[in-house]
A and B are shown apart, each in its own frame.
Chain A
Amino acid sequence: MDAWRKKLTKGVDFDDAEFYSKLGFKCGLEIHQQLDTKKKLFCHCPVGYRNDEPDAVILRHMRPTLSEMGTYDGTALMEFKTRKQVIYQLYRENVCTYEMDDTPPFPINQHALDYAIEIALMLNCQLVDEVHITRKQYLDGSIPTGFQRTAIIGIDGWIPYRGRKIRIQQLALEEDACREVEDSRHTIVFRTDRLSIPLVEIVTKPDMFTPHEAAEVDELLGRLMRASGRVRRGIGSARQDVNVSITGSERVEIKGVPRTPDIRPLTHYEALRQKALLELRDELNNRGITPETFKADYHDITNHFTNPEIRSMSGIPQGTQRINVVNLSAWQGLLKHKTQPGITFAAEIAGRVRVIACLDDIPNILVLDRQPEGILHGELRLSIELEEHIRAEIGADDDDTLVLVWGDADDAETGAKEIIIRAKEACGLIPQETRQHMTDKCRTDFERILPGPDRMYPDTDSPPIAIARERVRRIAAQTAPRPWEREEKYKKMGIPDQLATQLAIHVHAGLFDRLAEESPIIHRLVAEALVEWQKAIKRDKLELKLNIDSPDEARLEDFFKTAAYKRTPRRALYYAFEKLCYGEDAEPPYPLSDEELMKLSKKIKAEFKEVQFKSPDLTLNFLLGEVIEQSEGRAEPCKGKKMLENL
Chain B
Amino acid sequence: MNKPDPLKGYRGKAREVLERMGARVWADVEIETDKGTYKGIILPRSEQADDLHVVLKLFTGYNIGLAVDRIKDIKERGFREAHYKIPEQEFPYDPAKPNVTLLGTGGTIASRLDYRTGAVIPAFTPGELYGAVPELADICNLKTEKLFGVFSENMGPEQYITTAEAIGREIEAGAAGIVIGHGTDTMHHTAAALTFMVQDSPVPIIMVGSQRSSDRPSSDAAFNLRCACNTASHGNIAEVMVCMFGPTSDSYNLLHRGTRVRKMHSSYRSTFRTLSDIPVATCTPDEVKPLRKDYRPRRTDRNAKVDAVFDDRVAIVYYYPAMKPDIIESLIDNGYKGIVIAGTGLGHVNKPLYEPLRRACSQGISVMMTVQTLWGYVQMFVYDTGRDLMELGIVPCSNMLPEVAYIKLGWVLAHTHEREEVARMMLTPVNGETTEREPYDGYLVFQGGLPEIEEFLKRGLR
Contacts and interface: CB of A to CB of B under 8 A. Distances in A.
B120 A460 contact: yes
Contact of B65 (A62, A103, A131, A456): A131
B38 A464 contact: no
A464 B49 contact: yes
A66 B267 contact: no
A124 B287 CA distance: 59
| Most chain B CB inside 10 Å of its own CB: which residue of A87, A104, A126 | A126
Interface string A107-145: 000000000000000000011111110111111000011
A216 interface: no
A466 B454 contact: no
B60 A456 contact: yes
A421 interface: no
B416 to A, nearest CB: 44
Interface string A368-387: 00000000000000000000
Given A464-B53, A466-B52, A455 B61 contact: yes
A453 B40 CA distance: 12
Given A57-B458, A102-B269, A130 B65 contact: yes
Given A59-B250, A147-B217, A130 B53 contact: yes
B303 interface: no
A126 B38 CA distance: 9
B13 to A, nearest CB: 13
A130 B64 contact: yes
B214 interface: yes
Contacts of A60: 218, 249-250
B84 A68 contact: yes
B112 interface: yes
| Most chain A CB inside 10 Å of its own CB: which residue of B86, B218, B251, B458 | B218
Which range contains the number of A residues in contact with the other chain? 35 or more
A453 B58 CA distance: 9
A57 B456 CA distance: 10
A132 B250 CA distance: 30
Nearest to B251: A59
| Most chain B CB inside 10 Å of its own CB: which residue of A54, A55, A68 | A68
Which range contains the number of B residues in contact with the other chain? 35 or more
B350 interface: no
A63 B223 CA distance: 10
Interface string B145-157: 0000000000000
B218 A129 contact: no
A139 B215 CA distance: 13
A488 interface: no
Interface in B260-287: 265, 267-269
B222 A63 contact: yes
Contacts of B265: 102
Contacts of A130: 53, 55, 64-67
Contacts of B48: 463
Contacts, number: 165
A259 B380 CA distance: 73
A65 B128 CA distance: 12
A461 to B, nearest CB: 9
A132 B64 contact: yes
Interface string A205-232: 0000000000000000000000000000
B86 to A, nearest CB: 6
Contacts of A458: 63, 113, 115, 118
A527 interface: no
Interface in A234-280: none
Contacts of B115: 68, 457-458, 460
B212 interface: yes
B28 to A, nearest CB: 13
| Most chain A CB inside 10 Å of its own CB: which residue of B38, B58, B212, B454 | B58
Nearest to A132: B63
A393 interface: no
Contacts of B218: 60, 62, 101, 144-146
Contact of A457 (B49, B59, B87, B113): B113
Contacts of B118: 458, 460
A195 interface: no
Contacts of B222: 63
A57 B53 CA distance: 43
A62 B220 CA distance: 10
Contacts of A69: 82, 84
A64 interface: yes
A323 interface: no
B181 to A, nearest CB: 17
Nearest to A203: B60
23 contacts: A55-B457, A57-B459, A58-B460, A60-B249, A61-B223, A62-B217, A62-B218, A63-B219, A63-B222, A66-B84, A87-B460, A102-B269, A126-B36, A129-B70, A131-B64, A145-B216, A145-B217, A146-B218, A170-B62, A453-B60, A456-B61, A458-B63, A460-B120
Q: Which 9 A-B pairs have the closest CB atoms?
A: A130-B65, A146-B217, A456-B61, A453-B61, A56-B457, A129-B67, A59-B249, A132-B63, A126-B36
